[in-house]
Amino acid sequence: MTDVVTPPTSPVSRERSKEIKRLSVISTARQVRMLSRAELTELTGLSPATLTPLVRELIAEGYLIERGPGTSRTGRPRAMLEFNPRAELVAAVSLEPSRISCEIADSDGAVIAHRTVRLTGDIVDTICRFVPELAGDGLSALRGVAIAAPGVSSGGAVRLAPSVGLVEARPVGESVQQRLGVPVVVDNDVNLMAAGEHAAGAGSDVADLLLLHVADGIGAGLVLDGQVRRGAGGAAGEVGFLPLDPADRGHDGIGPFEARWSENAVAERMVALAPGRRPDSPVAALVELAATDERAAAYLDELLTAWARLIVSCVCVIDPGRVLLSGAAAQLDDAAVARLQTLVTAAAPSHTEVRRAVLGDRAVLHGAVSYALSAAAAAGLPTP
Amino acid sequence: MTDVVTPPTSPVSRERSKEIKRLSVISTARQVRMLSRAELTELTGLSPATLTPLVRELIAEGYLIERGPGTSRTGRPRAMLEFNPRAELVAAVSLEPSRISCEIADSDGAVIAHRTVRLTGDIVDTICRFVPELAGDGLSALRGVAIAAPGVSSGGAVRLAPSVGLVEARPVGESVQQRLGVPVVVDNDVNLMAAGEHAAGAGSDVADLLLLHVADGIGAGLVLDGQVRRGAGGAAGEVGFLPLDPADRGHDGIGPFEARWSENAVAERMVALAPGRRPDSPVAALVELAATDERAAAYLDELLTAWARLIVSCVCVIDPGRVLLSGAAAQLDDAAVARLQTLVTAAAPSHTEVRRAVLGDRAVLHGAVSYALSAAAAAGLPTP
DNA sequence: CACACTTCCTTCCTACGGCGAACGAATTAT
DNA sequence: ATAATTCGTTCGCCGTAGGAAGGAAGTGTG
């Protein structure tokens, strides 16, 4: 009857505050890996008296494992506690055209199980059968699922999604969430990569970054103040649409910039520069060729100039402080990256560091882990 | 001795949770203005038993005022409580070249006192003398101070700041904070405007927006997920530096885009189009002239096209969903705004609404109120 | 006009979590 | 051995949250 939309839950119910402490201890333990109760007192600010029963609880639940006594100069040695990454598992599902790949990882991002299958039948069905099967007896530790889809975003912008038969992102997420009973996040792959590099890669030391992913198209993932930002319609980072050259024209959901400067475009140019079969890694091939071929060198510089303008444009809008090159852009060698850095520094209004992303293919997985863990945390702790 | 950097305060001390409830009640009351305890139970989720003493406390402190019984169909009438905006005052200080203007406002943004003085001597001194003087006996209700400086940002980017003799933003904020004993926020005026429009203007219904402010330069303020985002170095929104046309060149801290398309540039062009004295509001003058003069109409369209490209660039990066035109850009008439909307829609990858900002000069004030209130809230509730 | 009824607010009381303090435990220094 | 030192635990007080019950203040109805 009274179907309250916002169940007017108390902002500070009693259990909530306990939950907060639990999470505080768990996240501290996750970072430090091996610590004693005394260290927990220092790091969390909780009193020893509060910690004793809490730690007991966490040991019982498998989050912490009691190890032998540690070292100490004098006094009673501290009983060490080890964080058990296996206590929290997440599933990262990656939708690709006609395939689904799934990985079960612990909270370190260590892959415990993975498999790839050809997509047959309903996506939701496949995922809901697949994940529990892979997780095995670790299913009870599953804390969240992150689904990466190319070019799709939570808002339902379905630019590239039809290629995987995904019409709308949200329903898939909700269906899976209902059937598996754990939080599910759906996001596009570039956002997940950005989250991954932020959590465990070349951006783990900063709160803001922009990941520029060059592939068939060009997209960016945006982390501001430690969070992936998707924009109002989930279309943040569609930098392939930047109108940097009035002469460029996009078409059919391809932006004007990416039409001219994506990996595809480079591949086509490479065929002209070095007749033969189309290279698998055109950017890497271009960098190599540029060392000996003047025309290639000129084109490389043209490419770097274009990418630099793209980066500068992003920097002017959001000032990420750090830009990570991903996908084909990560194939640039040191000299090319340095050249890009120089071009960016010359035109950007604020200090910006240009680096290669470091996680490569594993970025999506790490992002999924990070998403799923924070989704799990958010589920236990609804925003007040 | 043990000078702990992060005083390892407990994440959930006892007082904290009480503070959370207080804030929850206060913010609810601020929104609803006039409500009963029964409504508070519904809206906050707190039990009546918890509310009784809390409300009593708030009445004693002047946050709430008990009014007569309200209407009710049947049963005991609810005793109405009115939120007292005067219970929380904020000071908004605006630094301009050679002047300081200060306003004391209540939490509705209603100005209680204001004054402008010529800047003489030390900025910090002036502010610290000025604010208490204006606040008078309301000083005890002062919850925060927001200082707006042109072009300066929290990171210490001092592009335009030398004009007000401000070498570094942070020390000023900290000094004032120490001497006045309330939270102080320093930010650039465009960010404050964005916050103001978000809190009380044309963006109060959305969580994301971009405010494009055209004046001598061109800057943008960015609200994402309900918060003003400043970027890693505080230089987010420096869209005047966007390299949209390789031919444009910036100089001396002026970006390439704003060098050509700012209010200044329009003013110069207007002198050529309509010889005479330089108009005070060149954009308004241009719009007016364009109705009768073909060359002016052509230039107006050129200008709108340039601004549209600027907006589309921002949209591609962050997808704000709504763009507010401020400063000189707010002088466009409905037809021009519609034209801009059309141009943006044609090129942007996501749905974006273009509107005029509505607060005008008062935007900075409202932003300051919003900043100061949330700074006060944050001070009472350090991030766990 | 009395009575029931409804709704609102308050007071009483209990439960429970946080944390200070005292205490037992385990080791090194003397 | 004994003292010293550091760790971890148990005890018990305190304070807050919230359930339950009761008083308060109206409206409808016989």
Does the distance separating the beta carbons of B316 and A239 come in below 8 Å?
Answer: yes
Whose CA is closest to A197, among A211, A184, A185, A187?
A211
Q: From the C1' of D25, which residue's alpha carbon is nearest?
A: B76
In A180-217, which positions are buried (b, 16+ CB within 10 angstroms) versus exposed (e)? Answer: bebbbbbbbbbbbbbbbbbbbbbbeeeebbbbbbbbbb
Report chain A's mean pLDDT, rounded to a whole number.
86
Q: What is the largest CA-CA distance in chain A?
A: 76
Residue B15 has a pLDDT of 66
Write the DSSP symbol of residue B330.
Answer: G
Distance in angstroms: CA B68, C1' D24 = 15
The answer to whether some atom of strand D lies closer than 7 Å to the beta carbon of B99 is no
Nearest nt to A15, CA vs C1'?
A: C17
Residue B155 has a pLDDT of 43
| Local confidence band at B110 (pLDDT 50, 70, 90 cut-offs) | confident
Backbone angles phi, psi at B360, to 5 degrees: 55, -135
Region of poorest pLDDT, from A204-218, A349-363, B141-155:
B141-155
- Give the distance from residue B124's alpha carbon to the nearest chain A alpha carbon, in angstroms: 27
Domains in chain A: boundaries: 14-83, 87-194+363-380, 204-358
B10, pLDDT greater than 70? no
Q: How many C-beta neighbours within 10 Å does residue A383 have?
A: 5
Q: From the C1' of D28, which residue's alpha carbon is nearest?
A: B74
Q: Which of A233-242, A323-332, B60-69 has the highest mean pLDDT?
A: A323-332
A vs B: CB pairs below 8 A: 189
pLDDT digits 0-9 by tens, A99-109: 888 999 998 88
Does the distance separating the beta carbons of A45 and B232 come in below 8 Å?
Answer: no
Contact partners, residue A149, CB within 8 Å, separation at least 6:
A95, A161, A164, A166, A169, A186, A187, A188, A189
Contact partners, residue A7, CB within 8 Å, separation at least 6:
none
Name the residue with higher pLDDT: A44 or B9: A44
Percent of chain B with pLDDT over 70: 89
Whose CA is closest to B211, among B230, B229, B187, B190?
B190
- Give the distance from residue B13's alpha carbon to the nearest chain A alpha carbon, in angstroms: 9
Report chain B's mean pLDDT, rounded to a whole number.
85
Residue A159 has a pLDDT of 45
Structure-token pair, residue B45: 């989720």
Q: A213: which chain B residues are within 8 Å (Cβ-Cβ)?
A: none
What mean pLDDT comes out for the span B230-236? 90
Q: A309: which chain B residues are within 8 Å (Cβ-Cβ)?
A: 243, 246
| CA atoms of B158 and B186, how far apart (whole Å) | 13
Residue B7 has a pLDDT of 33
Distance in angstroms: CA B53, C1' D21 = 18
Q: How many C-beta neighbours within 10 Å does residue B186 have?
A: 27
B37, pLDDT greater than 70? yes
Tell which CATH architecture fits domain A14-83. Answer: Orthogonal Bundle (1.10)
Name the residue with higher pLDDT: B340 or A369: B340
Residue A5 has a pLDDT of 32
A376, pLDDT greater than 80? no
Q: How many C-beta neighbours within 10 Å does residue B47 have?
A: 10
What mean pLDDT comes out for the span B106-126? 85
Write the DSSP symbol of residue B75.
Answer: S
Strand ranges for chain A from DSSP E: 34-36, 64-69, 79-83, 89-96, 99-106, 111-118, 142-149, 184-188, 209-214, 218-224, 227-228, 322-327, 353-356
Does the distance separating the beta carbons of A9 and B20 come in below 8 Å?
Answer: no
Distance in angstroms: CA A150, C1' C14 = 56
Q: Which of A75-79, A143-147, A356-360, B362-366 has the highest mean pLDDT?
A: A356-360
CA distances from B121 to A181, B99, B129, B175 (A): 64, 11, 12, 15
| Strand C bases with any atom < 7 A from protein Cβ | 5-12, 16-22, 24-29
Q: How many helices (H) and strands (E) does chain A have?
A: 12, 13
pLDDT digits 0-9 by tens, B195-229: 999 999 999 999 999 999 999 899 999 999 999 99
The answer to whether some atom of strand D lies closer than 7 Å to the beta carbon of A78 is yes
Distance in angstroms: CA B210, C1' D23 = 55
B367, pLDDT greater than 90? yes
A254, pLDDT greater than 90? no
| Local confidence band at B169 (pLDDT 50, 70, 90 cut-offs) | low
β-sheet bridge partners, residue A65: A82
Selecting from A9, A222, A246 the residue whose C-beta is nearest the C-beta of B45 gives A9
Does the distance separating the beta carbons of A235 and B349 come in below 8 Å?
Answer: yes
B249, pLDDT greater than 50? yes
A365, pLDDT greater than 80? yes
| Local confidence band at A303 (pLDDT 50, 70, 90 cut-offs) | very high
CA distances from B292 to A77, A380, B262, B331 (A): 89, 63, 23, 18
The answer to whether some atom of strand D lies closer than 7 Å to the beta carbon of A64 is no
User: CATH 3.40.50.150: does it fit domain B15-83?
Assistant: no
Nearest-by-CA chain A residue for B241: A316
Half-sphere exposure of A114 (CA within 13 A, CB side): 13
A382, pLDDT greater than 50? no
Region of poorest pLDDT, from A41-50, A125-134, A152-161, A172-181:
A152-161
A209, pLDDT greater than 70? yes
Residue A168 has a pLDDT of 55
The answer to whether some atom of strand D lies closer than 7 Å to the beta carbon of A362 is no
| CA atoms of B177 and B221, how far apart (whole Å) | 24
Selecting from A24, A208, A246 the residue whose C-beta is nearest the C-beta of B231 gives A208
Q: From the C1' of D3, which residue's alpha carbon is nearest?
A: A75
Q: Do domains A14-83 and A204-358 have the same CATH topology?
A: no
Selecting from A208, A314, A321 the residue whose C-beta is nearest the C-beta of B317 gives A314
| Local confidence band at B342 (pLDDT 50, 70, 90 cut-offs) | very high
Structure-token pair, residue A130: 């697949």
Q: CATH assignment of B205-358, given 3.30.420.40, 3.40.47.10, 3.40.50.1820, 3.30.1330.60?
A: 3.30.420.40
pLDDT digits 0-9 by tens, A14-64: 667 788 888 889 988 988 899 999 999 988 888 899 999 999 999 998 999
Q: Which of A121-125, A233-237, B110-114, B212-216 has the highest mean pLDDT?
A: B212-216
Burial class (CB in 10 A: 0-12, 13-18, 19+), A368: buried
| CA atoms of B101 and A36, how far apart (whole Å) | 55
Selecting from B235, B320, B347 the residue whose C-beta is nearest the C-beta of A319 gives B235
Does the distance separating the beta carbons of B207 and A241 come in below 8 Å?
Answer: no
Tell which CATH architecture fits domain B87-194+363-380. Answer: 2-Layer Sandwich (3.30)
Name the residue with higher pLDDT: A85 or A68: A85
B383, pLDDT greater than 80? no
| Local confidence band at B258 (pLDDT 50, 70, 90 cut-offs) | very high
Q: CATH assignment of A204-358, given 3.40.50.1820, 3.40.640.10, 3.40.50.300, 3.30.420.40?
A: 3.30.420.40
With contact defined as beta carbons under 8 Å apart, do B37 and B81 qualify? yes
Name the residue with higher pLDDT: A214 or A94: A214
What sign results for the dihedral spanned by CA atoms B130, B131, B135, B138?
negative
